[in-house]
Each structure stands twice: as C-alpha cells, then as structure tokens.
C-alpha cells in the first residue's frame, strides 16, 4: 500500500512540475526608475513541447502591477495618472533546420542549442523598468505583484480554440508580491 502511495506522490510531483513558478522577484529603485528582477521556472508540458517543435511560436507575458494595500479591501489598483500595469512579451520559437531555440524580446533575439537553456533565459527577467519613481508618493507603502503566463491570444486561431477550457494550455505562475515604499 505504501508503494502505491509513493508512486502516486511521484506522479503528482511530476505533473506539478509542468508550468511556471516564481523562484524570486524584487523591485529596486535605479536611476529614477523602478526595475524588476525576477526568476521564473518554466517547464513545458508535452502538448506545448510538441506544438513548439512543430514550428508554432509560444508567447509568454510577464506582468507587473503596482497596488496600494488597504485594510478594508484586499488591494486597490492605482489608476488615473499613470498605467499601473507593465507588460513584457517574450517569444519562444524552434527552428527545425538549425535545431536551435530562440527567445525574443521585441526585435532582440538570442539562440540556444537546448530547450532547457532557452527556458532558463525566458524565465530570467533583468532590469525591466516598470515605472518612474515620480509616479509613487514619497513615504507611502505600495506593493508590486509580478507573474508570467502563456499568452494564448497570440496563438494561431485553431490552437486558441483548443486552448479554451484546457488545462494543458493554461500555464501561468501565481502572483508574487513584492513590497516597495514610495521614493
């Protein structure tokens, strides 16, 4: 009986390994800008791995929000004079001719010889400027939240239809809170 329980626990652990997890995240003030540094562990499930190897690009969206903690409400999103949400889009592709993986941010691309290297680069967010320091009131407490997810809206239409309501296509990290004080 204990052997069966051990096998089930191993299978559950392997299934939980697929997806995106936040390893660490921080928000720092650098040169009048707040910048995010974060590490995500990204593991593709067999469906996404197959789609990637068939030449379909996968888009990942890293999102950062600044919220103001309240005692009477969980969070109050800051709105009005500045956009409190920043988004960073990354593209993961595979070229079957060269057998290389590419991770791209905008027009900048980097090639990798293995999927593990490409996923490690995809999950490493460095010096991402999310807002100007002047947008936060001095001495007031704020909280930042960061997460990464697969952007299924960027997939070709037939894959978007398959993605509706499917756990295989819905990979995202939980929101990770990052505390910051205004200037």
The per-residue pLDDT for range 36-84, each reduced to its tens digit, is 999 999 999 999 999 999 999 999 999 999 876 665 544 444 444 345 7
- Which pLDDT tens digit goes with each residue over 31-45? 888 999 999 999 999
Nearest 5°: phi and psi at 11?
-65, -40
Token digits for 38? Answer: 């974060």
Mean pLDDT of 18-34: 91
- Which pLDDT tens digit goes with each residue over 113-153? 999 999 999 999 999 999 888 888 777 777 889 999 999 88
- pTM reported for the whole predicted model: 0.80
Nearest CA to 91 out of 155, 147, 37, 46 is that of 155
DSSP assignment, residue 136? S
Q: Any alpha helices (H) in the chain, and if so which ranges?
A: 2-17, 46-53, 115-122, 157-163
With a CB cutoff of 8 Å and minimum separation 6, the contacts of 98 are 111
């Amino acid at each position: 009986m204990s052997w069966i329980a051990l096998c089930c626990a191993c299978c559950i652990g392997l299934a939980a390994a697929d997806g995106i997890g936040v390893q660490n995240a921080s928000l720092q003030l650098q040169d009048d800008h707040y910048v995010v540094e974060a590490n995500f562990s990204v593991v593709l499930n067999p469906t996404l791995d197959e789609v990637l190897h068939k030449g379909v690009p996968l888009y990942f969206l890293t999102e950062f929000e600044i919220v103001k903690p309240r005692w009477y409400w969980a969070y109050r999103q800051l709105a009005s004079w500045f956009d409190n949400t920043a988004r960073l889009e990354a593209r993961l592709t595979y070229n079957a001719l060269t057998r290389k993986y590419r991770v791209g941010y905008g027009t900048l691309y980097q090639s990798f010889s293995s999927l593990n290297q490409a996923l490690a680069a995809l999950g490493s967010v460095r010096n991402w400027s999310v807002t100007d320091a002047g947008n936060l009131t001095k001495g007031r407490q704020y909280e930042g939240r960061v997460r990464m997810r697969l952007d299924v809206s960027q997939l070709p239409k037939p894959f978007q239809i398959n993605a509706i309501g499917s756990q295989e296509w819905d990979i995202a990290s939980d929101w990770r809170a990052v505390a910051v004080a205004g200037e």
